[in-house]
Amino acid sequence: MAENNVAAPVKRSLGGRLLIAVPYFWLFLFFLAPFLIVVKISLSQTAIAIPPYVPTFDLSEGWQAFSESFAEFSFENYVWLTEDALYWKSYLSSVSIAAVSTFLTLLIGYPIAYGMARSPQSWRPTLLMLVILPFWTSFLIRVYAWIGILKNEGLLNQLLLSLGLISEPLVILNTNAAVYVGIVYSYLPFLVLPLYASLERLDGTLLEAAEDLGCPAWKAFWKITVPLSLPGIIAGCFLVFIPAVGEFVIPDLLGGSNTLMIGKTLWVEFFNNRDWPVSSAVAVILLLILVIPIVLFQNQQQKMSEKDG
């Protein structure tokens, strides 16, 4: 009886630890391990071999050779990234294109999410469905479709010409503008969904209270609705900004030859130059560029909420 009493909590805590271990194991297996492999390749050198880099850590040549191969690691790929202007220009251009598109997505997505959250309860599942609907078609096909819309003799130009709004076709395809259109279109649901979730939770009586206290509706929107939907805005913007920075398909299909984006640079490095170490270094730096600001931001948020708490 007494033994049982002692044994039970130990067992439970073991089960609890196992439960926590599962997601950690998952993260290790599918995030940390691949990342470590990429870091390792980024420290290697190119070689005409399969795989196209050395050292390869082959245990078949004995423990001695394995530990010696550590000595072959160098940071020269990272040094190279700083020497060629292409790379930092690509990073900068990616971040700025992603930032502008995120802002445009927010401008379009906020009214959509707001409208959905304020629509009659019975409409909401349908509206939600409509937002998710594009996902049912291949992303690639949808981006291709934009070529048909945006090209010089495309649907958009034909429409504008026939309406007499323009006299000669607008050049949109193969410019940064087309990339913005593509990113905004593709990532809109990622911003609308979290924003909708936080706007739907917003208590309508808060707006009535604001109005009752002398605050007209448009002002109450800025003073009550926007601050209370901030978590949704932040989550949505991250969900758009992060994948947009590394986006490859959209700038490749819709952007011009002078549209620099790090995803494209990485592709060229990896597939055309077959330079796995340099492309790995590009990927590692990209990750750091994205992760460091987010970690800093979250720390800041943590401090803010602790100050409140």
Partner 1 sequence: MAKKSMGPVRREFSPWESPDHPPFIEFRNVSKMFGDFTAVNNLSLKIYEKEFFALLGGSGCGKTTLMRMLAGFETPTSGQIFLDGQDLAGIPPYRRPSNMMFQSYALFPHMNVEKNIAFGLKQDNMPAQEIEARVAEMLRLTKLEQFAKRKPHQLSGGQRQRVALARSLAKRPKVLLLDEPLGALDRKLREETQFELMALQEDLKMTFLIVTHDQEEAMTVADRIAVMDKGELVQVATPAEIYEAPNSKYVADFIGDINLIEARVAEKAGSLTKLVSVVDGFAIECDQETEANVGDTVWFAIRPEKVRIAHGEAEPGAVNRIGGIVWDIAYLGDVSIIHAKVGEDDHDTIRATFANISRMVENPINWDDKVVLTFDRDAGVILTR
Does the footprint of partner 1 cover residue 149 (CB under 8 A)?
no
We find the least distance from the C-beta atom of residue 102 to partner 1, in angstroms, to be 23
User: What is the 8-class DSSP label of residue 47?
Assistant: -
**235 is a site residue for partner 1 (CB under 8 A):** no
User: Helices 76-83 & 276-308, crossing angle to 10 degrees?
Assistant: 90
Using CA atoms, how far residue 190 sits from 31, 131, 184, 240, in Å, is 22, 9, 10, 6
Question: Can residue 33 be called a binding residue for partner 1 (CB under 8 A)?
Answer: no
Site residues (CB under 8 A) for partner 1, limited to 170-229: 203, 205-206, 208-216, 219, 223-224, 227-228
State the minimum distance, in angstroms, from the CB of residue 208 to partner 1: 6
| Cis amide linkage into residue 293, ω under 30° from 0 | no
SS3 assignment, position 260: coil
Least distance from partner 1 to the Cβ atom of residue 221, Å: 13
Closest contact distance (angstroms) between CB of 293 and partner 1 is 24
State the Cα angle at 127 between 122 and 130, rounded to 5°.
Answer: 145
How many residues at the interface with partner 1, by CB under 8 A?
19
Tell the smallest beta-carbon distance from residue 233 to partner 1 (Å).
Answer: 13
Q: Give yes or no for residue 120 binding partner 1 (CB under 8 A).
A: no
Cα torsion 88, 91, 94, 100 to 10°: value is -80
Q: Where are the alpha helices (DSSP H) in 151-229?
A: 155-162, 176-200, 204-212, 217-220, 226-228
Bridge partners, 45 (sequence order): 54
CA atoms within 13 A on the CB side of 11: 6
Q: Nearer Cβ to partner 1, position 3 or 212? A: 212
User: What string marks each residue from 279 to 298 as x (binds partner 1 by CB under 8 A) or -?
Assistant: --------------------
User: What is the rounded CA–CA span in Å between residue 267 and residue 287?
Assistant: 16
Q: For residues 9 and 216, which CB has a smaller minimum distance to partner 1 in the complex?
A: 216
What is residue 55's three-state secondary structure? coil
In the complex with partner 1, the residue whose CB is nearer, 163 or 213, is 213
Closer of 96 and 302 to partner 1 (Cβ): 302
- 301 forms part of the interface with partner 1 (CB under 8 A): no
Q: Does 72 bind partner 1 (CB under 8 A)?
A: no
Residues forming the site for partner 1 (CB under 8 A): 203, 205-206, 208-216, 219, 223-224, 227-228, 308-309
